[in-house]
């Protein structure tokens, strides 16, 4: 494979089930002959993983949250995402800037324009080629989370928080044009994989 790699992101509220598809999706791409790197946000570098620990566990203001998310993102872009894409590797990222729009914007209440200013500063030239938004009713997502491990600072939020996060995701998807594919997370794993399998042939 030659040329620039594709940048694919997975998004959704906690409990929507995106993470169970990422490794499978990466294997699908590898079988098609692509070189693939799987990574996540916040995280993906030593520094960004340290920032992740703080973000998920320490009390802080919403502005600090947003700035730390972008600080982690800057390091991740410099050291991992951009070099991989430039060398032809496909990057599959569990969350990216759409998460900041949804969680710090929709969830916490930071003005969209302020997050977009940070977005233009950190990656004016780069957006995902494809974003899969796993969409699920927050009450069902809360049920799914209850059966998983202990809640971090975001997962411990009330349902109203996730209602706002979901709305912000859907608004972002509606205003971002062709890169988004919204997937109904109530579908079976098999049906979701079929959707991904067909869609990946389109970009
Ligand atoms: P998540 O990616 O869901 O990981 P896990 O499956 O291990 O719980 O958790 C990351 C959390 O960080 C998630 O609740 C969303 C939040 N987050 C933000 O609030 N802003 C951001 O910019 C990013 C990338 C994540």
Pick the atom of ligand 1 nearest to 154's CA.
14
What pLDDT is recorded for position 184?
98
Query: Cis peptide before 127, with omega less than 30 degrees from 0?
Result: no
Q: What pLDDT is recorded for position 142?
A: 94
Q: Taking the domains of the chain in order of start, what are their residue ranges?
A: 7-200
Atom of ligand 1 nearest to the CA of 41: 24
Residuewise pLDDT in 10s, the chain (203 residues):
468 999 999 999 999 999 999 999 999 999 999 999 999 999 999 999 999 999 999 999 999 999 999 999 999 999 999 999 999 999 999 999 999 999 999 999 999 999 999 999 999 999 999 999 999 999 999 999 988 878 999 999 999 999 999 999 999 999 998 999 999 999 999 999 999 999 998 87
The atom of ligand 1 lying closest to the CA of 100 is 22
Contact indicator for 108, 62 with CB cutoff of 8 Å: yes
**Per-residue model confidence (pLDDT) at position 1:** 46
Residues with CB under 6 A from ligand 1: 14, 19, 41-42, 69, 94-95, 99-100, 103-104, 154-155
Distance 5 CA to ligand 1 centre (A): 24
Q: Whose CA is nearest to atom 9 of ligand 1?
A: 14
pLDDT at residue 147, as a whole number: 82
> Residue 53 has what pLDDT?
98
The 36-40 sheet, strands edge to edge: 36-40, 90-94, 7-12, 130-135, 180-184
Pocket test for ligand 1, best of 12, 39, 42, 71 (most atoms within 8 A of CB): 42
| Alpha-carbon gap, residue 168 to 183, rounded angstroms | 16
Instruction: Return the pLDDT at 38.
Output: 98
CATH number of the domain located at residue range(s) 7-200 in this protein: 3.40.50.300
Residue 174, phi then psi, degrees to nearest 5: -70, -30
Cα 70 to Cα 23, 75, 104, 108, 115, distances in angstroms: 25, 9, 11, 16, 9
Ligand 1 centroid, distance to 3 Cα (angstroms): 31
53: CB partners within 8 A, 6+ apart = none
So what's the pLDDT on residue 177? 81
98, 41 contact by CB (below 8 A) = no
Q: Of 43, 26, 44, nearest to 35 (Cα)?
A: 26
């Amino acid at each position: 494979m030659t040329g620039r790699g594709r940048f694919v992101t997975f998004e959704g509220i906690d409990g929507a089930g995106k993470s169970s598809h990422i490794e499978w999706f990466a294997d699908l791409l590898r079988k098609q002959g692509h070189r693939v790197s799987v990574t996540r946000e916040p995280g993906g570098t030593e520094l960004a993983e340290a920032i992740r620990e703080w973000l998920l566990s320490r009390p802080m203001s919403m502005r600090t949250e947003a700035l730390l998310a972008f600080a982690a993102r800057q390091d991740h872009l410099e050291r991992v995402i951009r070099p991989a894409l430039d060398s032809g590797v496909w990057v599959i990222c569990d969350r990216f800037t759409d998460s900041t729009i949804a969680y710090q914007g929709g969830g916490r209440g930071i003005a969209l324009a302020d997050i977009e200013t940070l977005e233009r500063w950190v990656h004016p030239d780069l957006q995902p080629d494809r974003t899969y938004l796993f969409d699920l009713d927050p009450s069902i997502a809360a049920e799914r989370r209850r059966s998983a491990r202990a809640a971090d600072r975001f997962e411990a939020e009330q349902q109203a928080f996730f209602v706002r996060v979901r709305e912000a995701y859907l608004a972002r998807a509606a205003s971002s044009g062709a890169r988004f594919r919204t997937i109904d997370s109530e579908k079976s794993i098999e049906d979701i994989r079929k959707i991904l399998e067909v869609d990946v042939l389109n970009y």
